[in-house]
Structure 1
Amino acid sequence: MKNVFIIMSSFCLFTCCSQEKEKDSSVPEEVKPQALLLADPTIFYDKGNYYLYGTTGGDTPLNGQGFMVYTSSDLKKWTGPAGTQNGLALKKGDSFGDKGFWAPQIIAYNKKFYMIYTANENIAVATSNSPLGPFKNDSKEPIIKTGNQIDPFVFIDDDGKKYLYYVRLTNGNRIFVAEINDDLLSIKPETLTECISGTLPWENTENTNWPVTEGPTVIKHNGLYYLIYSANDFRNPDYAVGYATSTSPLGPWEKSKTSPIISRNNVPQNGIGHGDVFFDKNNKMHYVLHTHYSSSTVAPRKTGIIDISFEGNEIKADPKSFHFLVN
C-alpha cells in the first residue's frame, strides 16, 4: 500500500530530522546533501541522463499534485525537482484521477515517452515528448474499468507482445498479469491471470488477513522471466524484496527459495522494498527502492539504490552497495 500516512508526515519529519542530520556543524545546512524522499521509485535512462520518479512524500506543496522528476548524469548527484511544470513531470489536471499518485513507470515506445501510473487506485497512461514532461493523458479513463488496482508495470517481450503486471486489491494485494493492447490503453481480458499472492512466512510476517505482494517488475534473462516483487505491508519493518520465475510471461510462477533477497536482515534499513530494476550506462544492473525514514518512523520514505546481478539463474543483491540518493 502507498502514501496513506501523508497527514502525519510533517510531524514525523520534524521529530526525526535531527537524528538524520550529519553531526558536522561546520558545513552550512543549506549545502549539506539532502536525502531524496520518493517512495515506489523508478529510474529511467535516456541519452546519458538518469530520471528518477516516484510517489511523493513529506510535507511539500507538490505532494498529491502529480509526479516529480529528478535528474542525474552519474547516479550520485541528483538535481531537481526538474519537471517542466514547476518540478512536476505530470501534474493533476493533465492526468487521470485527482489523488493517490503512486508508483509510476516510464518507457520509451513509438517515439514517445509513456508514463504508466496509479491514481485513485486505478491505472492510467500518459505520454510526453520528453522524460521531463509534460506528460498528459489522451484518455481520462483508467486502463481497467472494474475494481481497484495499483502498481503497474509494462513488460515488452522479444516478440513484441506487451504485458501489464499490476496489483489487484482483492482479498489481499495480489499480483496479476494480462496482455495489453498496442495502444497501452486497454488489456485483453481473456488473458488475465493471477501471478502470486502472499503465502510464504516471509511475505506475511504479521500473519494478517490481508497478505500483501506488490510493486512488480519483470525482466527476462536467458529465456527465463523474473518477477521481482515486495511483500508485507509497507509500514511493516519486514517489508522486503523477493522474486519468482517462469518460462512464460503469463506464468505459472515459482517463487525463489532464496527470497527475500533484500530485507532488513541484510541491509540495515526498515521497510526496504518496492522499487524497479534499471541498467546504467555500462549495462550494470541496479534496483532502486525506498526505506522507512528512520528506525522509528515510516514517513516520508527515503530513496536508495542497491546493486543486483545474476549468478546463474539466481538474482543476488550486494548489501554493501546500498546507498541513499541525495541532492
Structure 2
Amino acid sequence: MKIVHITPFYRPSIGGVEEIVYNTVKELAKRGHEVHVVSVNYDNRWKEIAKPSTVVEEGVIVHRLRPSFIKIGYATLMHDLKKVLFEIKPDIVHSHNLHPHLFQAIAWKSKVGYKVVAQLHFPKMTGVDNLVAKMFFEPTMKILTWNQNNVDVFIAHTQLEKQWFINSGINGGKISIIKYPCAPDSLAAYVPKRDIHELLGSDIVITYISRIHRRKGQHLLIKASEHLRNYLNRNFKVYIAGPISDQKYFIELHNLVQRLSLSGIVVLEPRILREEEKLDYMSTSNIFALTSLMDYTPVAVFESLVLGTP
C-alpha cells in the first residue's frame, strides 16, 4: 500500500509526535509498504532544518515543504501539499495533530480516493501554548465532529483519550486505541561509548533531556536539586540538555541556578544532542528525571526504562 503520514514536524526536529511518526513509518517501510512523510522544512522551534526537498531516509520518502507565513503556534499551511498528495495517490493518509492539513486531507479525500486516519495526540492533555490557538481549539474540534464521517479511523493512545474524543462528539465506533509510544527493541542491547559520570566528574548523575520549554518544567528539577544538595552527602550533578524552545524560560532557568548557588551542581546544555550522545548519557545516568507540567507521550521515559535507567 501507499501510505502518507502528514505531520507538522519531522526528524531531526525533536518531540514526542516526531518520534512516534518516525518509529511508525520505519516499521511500515520494513513491512514492504511505500511510505511517505510530508512535513515542513523547519523544526518545532521554527528553525530551518533543510531546504524544501524530497529525499529517501531509511526506506521512507520524506517530502519537506515550505510552510505558510501564517503560523498559529505550531500550526501552519504547507505549500504544495495538494500537489504532493495528488501525485502520490495514496491508499491511506494518516494525519497527525489538529492542524489545517487534517481538514485539507478530508477535503481532497473523495478526489484521490484514499482513507483518512486522524491521530490528534490528545491536545487537551498536552495543552495549547499559543493564545490564538487556544481560542480556535474548541471551534476547530467542533468542525472536526461535523466532518467525522469523512474520517475513517481516529487513533487514541489511551482509554482516557478515547473518552475525550467521545465527550467531544466523536463516534466511539470510529476510535481505535493504539498504545504509543514504544521504544525500539534494539535499545535493550545498547552499549554506551561514553559515561556521563566521567564527562561531568561526578559519582551520581540525574539527567533530563528534553526541549527547554516552560511546559517541560525544568525549573522543578532545579529547585529539587537544592533540596538534594542539603540531603545528600555525596558529589552529584543534575544534567539538563535539549534545544531551547523558549528563550525567556531558559534565561529564567539560568538565573534560578545562580540564585540558588547551584552552578557547581546543575549543568545546563542548551543544544540538540546527537542520538548516540543522548543514549550514552541516558543509559549511564543514575536516574532519568521527567518534570513536565504537561506531557502525554514522554518517549524519553520509555527509552530510559529500556536502557535500564530508572
Which structure has the larger Rg over C-alpha atoms? Answer: 2
When you count helix as a share of all residues, which structure comes out higher? 2
| TM-score of the alignment, normalized to the shorter chain, above 0.5 | no
TM-score (norm 1): 0.28
When you count strand as a share of all residues, which structure comes out higher? 1
